[in-house]
């Protein structure tokens, strides 16, 4: 079985996501927009396209872990 490398985030990406989380707690509309497509919101926060790709890949990885934990992806 081949192991997929675990994605990681830079300190700058983590701090930016902290700001996003603070906005999510204050504004449900912001949260809905972020869940639908995080790319425009992250680009507005001066993230590069590479940063956005890395963050999205990190979210996908975490989602896979949650699915495995719930038994949705066990083979």
What digits encode the pLDDT tens for the residues 7-56? Answer: 889 999 999 999 998 998 999 899 889 888 999 999 999 999 999 999 99
Give buried/exposed letters for 26-59 (b at 16+ CB in 10 A, else e).
Answer: eeeeeeeebeeebeebbeeeebeeebbebbeebe
Instruction: Report the length, in residues, of the chain.
Output: 75
pTM for the predicted model, two decimal places:
0.76
Quick check: 71 pLDDT over 70?
no
């Amino acid at each position: 079985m081949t192991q997929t490398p675990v994605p990681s985030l830079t300190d700058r990406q983590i701090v930016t996501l902290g700001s996003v989380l603070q906005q999510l707690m204050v504004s449900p509309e912001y949260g809905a927009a972020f869940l639908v497509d995080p790319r425009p919101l992250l680009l507005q926060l001066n993230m590069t396209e590479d940063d956005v790709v890395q963050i999205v890949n990190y979210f996908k990885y975490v989602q896979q872990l949650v699915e495995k934990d719930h038994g949705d992806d066990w083979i």
